Structure 1
């Protein structure tokens, strides 16, 4: 399927099913959101990296206008729908300040991969334990998808974007698994280094009895 959508480029990756809260203040995007609300249409959020609009993004649905300001600014709640690929950017739309794009929607195979999911989830929780942070998920463990875990795995923006255009759930989980296997030992070593630095200058119980 190919169609035209209005676009709101942002330096974030939005995944299908993810809630994104936006404060809309620029005139062109106030106009875009107002038009989408009036016409009950979604809009696209293509990823911006290094000031460049990338090829892939996510279509989002406006679920709620949380607050409307006297200035026309607004707080909106959106939810990611599906990933799109930009075929052509439309830089001028008659009587509109915002831009759009001709897009299609690659097939996205989710499937069920419980063993792999369990490994990735274990890695995410191990990483969080090292970082001493606690995050809970709104779904049962077995219902989670790679999209639910991606923002919690310590990926960079470039890595989150790479995951966005993997279209098989097994590929996405493997990507997260490889990332976690690489980053967890590094973070654990940094934590040990921090402990050594903090201990420097403190009284410590040291022994050579076992020599």
Structure 2
């Protein structure tokens, strides 16, 4: 048995009062120098950055206390808003667990992260069929990019769970709890329990 000699990967963090789940896209306005530096570094390296839920503190100003689990965000598009600020469209990819966080001189938090495993290819179980139906109705009603997904995606337990976590009017703490679950069926169980 050999010891794991791979060093933890470091990832710049962009803590927010929101939870980004894998496959979801969000828009950001970037104006603080520490985050402009982070975005520039990501552009140069072709890497993403981490989005974590803020547990204590504000998005602007002093470094915050953020959740240990987050999602890597990759930049899909960027531009300038009417106010001249940098605007980004980012998409959630891999989940991570931040093991240690240090704060750079400019206030940017950088975490040593362990990547969570990829979602397994699992079929929606019969007891979660209601959730796949609910997602289909939501997508039919609101449209958007996921409405164009192949119908077979509604059989994918992980995809159904992430889309419901993204689209349902959940509290951030509930979304964070879903993000931290590794098993897609446990995620669907939790979603069923959260439905009114």
Paired residues, number: 173
Match status 1:162 vs 2:177: yes
Match status 1:57 vs 2:82: no
Which of 161, 178, 185 is 2:193 aligned to? 178
Q: Gaps (5+ residues) in structure 1?
A: 184-211
Q: Which has the larger radius of gyration?
A: 1
1-structure distance, mates of 2:49, 2:148: 25
Report the equivalent of 1:122. 133
TM-fit CA distance, 1:98: 1.7
Q: Write the mapping of 1:3-152 to structure 2, written as runs, cut at 5 A.
A: 3-51=9-57, 52-67=65-80, 73-92=85-104, 96-114=106-124, 115-123=126-134, 134-136=141-143, 137-144=147-154, 145=159, 146-152=161-167
Report the equivalent of 2:3. none
TM-fit CA distance, 1:116: 4.6
TM-score by length of 2: 0.77
Q: Gaps (5+ residues) in structure 2?
A: 1-5, 58-64
Kindly report structure 1 stretches of 4+ aligned residues shifted beyond 2 Å: 49-52, 66-71, 108-118, 121-126, 151-154
TM-score by length of 1: 0.72
TM-fit CA distance, 1:117: 4.8
Residues 42, 110 of structure 1: CA spacing in aligned structure 2 closer, same or farther, 3 A cutoff?
Answer: same
Cα RMSD, aligned residues only: 2.5
